[in-house]
């Protein structure tokens, strides 16, 4: 990418570690500690421009600018605030390919949901992102940049990150792992507060287990039956239920971390008492939480809908009677289409067979 007024490359500083920022300072004739100052502005203060960094000499800031350095090349295409206090940002880096990030404040913590790819190749049949196809992987800068963009609009510190936005994070380990390192080492987040959610790519889960990174791993399971999971998630044809759950057991053994199983609930499809019983059997003895997610409506042309409260309660009761820890995701940000893939889908019109809930004008970039 090129700057508007020169043919120099745009060089985002977000995504670089303190050691690399020191090298840049030294390369421009400054002392190393200027790199530490840059890191502090970027990662501790979520500063979005060099002009704000008033304790850096103006000559150094000008030099950075003339060398093509910017804090980040992310542009906010749209910012929406929901009636229940959820913020959603739609971002791009000038190439017009948008991705989304969500800020989720709770009473006891602030969390955010980040994207790892633009679009997704996994083609889960219930997912707005999956229905729209795949564009590209996000860079480390774009992943960390989402966190910082959200932190700059958050009144409180964001202490939790979940990779449950657009994309399959384990298909982009090349950008994801450095981004996690920066979130941990530069920004100071606990690895235990970083959740990576996956469709269940066995080789990549094994790689994470080998790295012994104490992050939180979540598997989108959605049914204990191969026949049903295969209809929901094409990945199941490659790595079926028994194999992927065994891999989660091995991951737990290698890292000592409790794992999460996400379980989408679709009415009369995967919410039957039989599947609740089989699910309890499947995860028996494994320290884990099952997170129930009532289906967020996407027009899949399958006629799928969210189950009634009674059906969700009945499913949960069967799990709990078998001593499984259960949580339930409370839907928030409904009025700003905060659920996975929805807002970007509205902008690009790329909803596959699904359709946007309502049309959105593309806001001017700032
Ligand atoms: N690719 C990763 C992370 C992104 S999706 C994964 O699949 O885990 C994050 C979570 O949202 C997954 O559990 C996914 O199955 C779920 N999800 C996607 N579309 C949904 C929908 N329409 N309703 C409810 N949950 C959905």
Per-residue pLDDT averaged across 256-267, rounded? 97
pLDDT digits (tens, 9 = 90+) for 175-218: 999 999 999 999 999 999 999 999 999 999 999 999 998 999 99
**164 Cα–ligand 1 center, Å:** 7
In the DSSP assignment, the letter for residue 182 is I
Does 352 map to a domain? no
At residue 163, the 3 state secondary structure works out as strand
70, 92, 121 — which closes off a domain?
70
Domain enclosing residue 59, as ranges: 11-70
**67 Cα–ligand 1 center, Å:** 41
Q: Which atom of ligand 1 is nearest to the CA of 198?
A: 8
Let me know whether 218 and 311 are in one domain: yes
Let me know whether 230 and 332 are in one domain: yes
Give pLDDT, residue 365.
Answer: 32
Give pLDDT, residue 342.
Answer: 59
Does 6 map to a domain? no
Give me the percent of the chain exceeding a pLDDT of 90. 81
Q: How many CB atoms lie within 10 A of CB 181?
A: 15
For tokens 């030294």, the residue is 26
Does 366 map to a domain? no
Residue among 262, 269, 290 to mutate when testing ligand 1 (max atoms within 8 A of CB): 262
Q: Which atom of ligand 1 is nearest to the CA of 168?
A: 1
Contact between residue 76 and residue 100 where contact means Cβ atoms under 8 Å apart: no
**95 Cα–ligand 1 center, Å:** 26
Let me know whether 229 and 338 are in one domain: yes
Residues contacting 217, CB < 8 A, separation 6+: 195, 196, 198, 205, 208, 248, 251, 255, 257, 259, 260
Contact between residue 217 and residue 205 where contact means Cβ atoms under 8 Å apart: yes
Name the residue at shortest CA distance from atom 10 of ligand 1: 164
Let me know whether 202 and 252 are in one domain: yes
CA–CA gap between residue 39 and residue 17 (Å, rounded): 7
Let me know whether 31 and 61 are in one domain: yes
Q: Which atom of ligand 1 is nearest to the CA of 262?
A: 13
**78 Cα–ligand 1 center, Å:** 22
Name the residue at shortest CA distance from atom 4 of ligand 1: 164
Ligand 1 residue neighbourhood (C-beta within 6 Å): 124, 126-127, 164, 168, 197-199, 220, 262, 264, 293, 295-296, 298, 339-340
Does 5 map to a domain? no
Average pLDDT, the chain: 90
At residue 196, the 3 state secondary structure works out as strand
Let me know whether 122 and 27 are in one domain: no
CA–CA gap between residue 7 and residue 342 (Å, rounded): 36
Residue among 293, 334, 355 to mutate when testing ligand 1 (max atoms within 8 A of CB): 293
Burial label for 274, CB within 10 Å (0-12, 13-18, 19+), is: exposed
**Domain harbouring 16, CATH code:** 1.10.150.530
70, 92, 116 — which closes off a domain?
70
**2 Cα–ligand 1 center, Å:** 35
pLDDT band per the 50, 70, 90 thresholds, residue 2: very low
CA–CA gap between residue 138 and residue 117 (Å, rounded): 5
- Structural domains counted in the chain: 2
For tokens 């997610």, the residue is 293
Let me know whether 136 and 168 are in one domain: yes
Dmax over Cα atoms in the chain, in whole Å?
Answer: 69
Q: Would you please indicate which residues are annotated as catalytic (active-site) residues?
A: 100, 340
Residues contacting 203, CB < 8 A, separation 6+: none
Let me know whether 97 and 33 are in one domain: no
Give pLDDT, residue 351.
Answer: 33
51, 70, 89 — which closes off a domain?
70
Does 31 map to a domain? yes
Predicted structure pTM score: 0.91
**363 Cα–ligand 1 center, Å:** 26
For tokens 């709770």, the residue is 106
At residue 257, the 3 state secondary structure works out as coil
Burial label for 99, CB within 10 Å (0-12, 13-18, 19+), is: buried
Give me the percent of the chain exceeding a pLDDT of 70. 90
Does 2 map to a domain? no
pLDDT digits (tens, 9 = 90+) for 311-357: 999 999 999 999 999 999 887 887 877 765 555 655 554 433 232 32
Let me know whether 300 and 212 are in one domain: yes
Does 361 map to a domain? no
Does 114 map to a domain? yes
Let me know whether 133 and 26 are in one domain: no
Pull the structure tokens for residue 212. 């012994």
Let me know whether 48 and 162 are in one domain: no
Q: Which atom of ligand 1 is nearest to the CA of 297?
A: 22
Q: Is 19 left (phi over 0), alpha (psi -120 to 50) or beta?
A: alpha
Q: Which of 61-70, 72-81, 252-261, 271-280 has the lowest mean pLDDT?
A: 72-81
């Amino acid at each position: 990418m090129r700057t508007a007024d020169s043919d120099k490359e745009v060089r985002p500083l977000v995504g670089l570690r303190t050691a690399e920022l020191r090298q840049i300072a030294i390369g421009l004739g400054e002392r190393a500690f200027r790199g530490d100052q840059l890191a502090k502005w970027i990662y501790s203060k979520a500063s979005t421009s060099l002009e704000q960094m008033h304790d850096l000499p103006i000559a150094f800031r000008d030099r950075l600018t003339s060398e093509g350095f910017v804090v980040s090349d992310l542009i906010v295409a749209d910012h929406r605030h929901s009636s229940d206090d959820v913020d959603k940002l739609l971002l791009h880096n000038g190439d017009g390919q948008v991705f989304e990030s969500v800020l989720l404040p709770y009473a006891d913590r602030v969390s955010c949901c980040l994207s790892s790819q633009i679009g997704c190749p996994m083609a889960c049949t219930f997912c707005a992102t999956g229905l729209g196809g795949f564009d590209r992987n996000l860079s480390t800068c774009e992943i960390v940049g989402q966190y910082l963009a959200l932190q700059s609009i958050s009144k409180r510190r964001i202490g939790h990150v979940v990779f449950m936005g657009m994309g399959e994070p384990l298909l982009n380990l090349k950008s994801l792992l450095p981004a996690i390192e920066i979130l941990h080492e530069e920004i100071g987040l606990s690895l235990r507060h970083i959740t990576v959610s996956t469709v269940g790519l066995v080789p990549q889960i094994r790689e994470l287990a080998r790295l012994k990174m104490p992050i939180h791993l979540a598997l989108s399971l959605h049914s204990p039956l191969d026949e049903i999971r295969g209809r929901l998630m094409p990945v199941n044809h490659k790595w079926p239920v028994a194999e992927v759950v065994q891999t989660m057991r091995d991951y737990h053994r290698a890292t000592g971390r409790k794992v999460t199983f996400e379980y989408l609930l679709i009415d009369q499809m995967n919410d039957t008492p039989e599947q609740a019983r089989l699910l309890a059997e499947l995860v028996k003895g494994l320290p884990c939480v099952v997170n129930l997610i009532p289906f967020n409506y996407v027009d899949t042309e399958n006629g799928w809908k969210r189950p009634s409260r009674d059906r969700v309660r009945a499913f949960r009761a069967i799990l709990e009677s078998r001593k499984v820890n259960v949580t339930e995701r409370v839907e928030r940000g409904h009025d700003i289409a905060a659920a996975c893939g929805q807002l970007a889908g509205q902008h690009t019109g790329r909803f596959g067979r699904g359709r946007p809930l309502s049309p959105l004008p593309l806001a001017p970039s700032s």
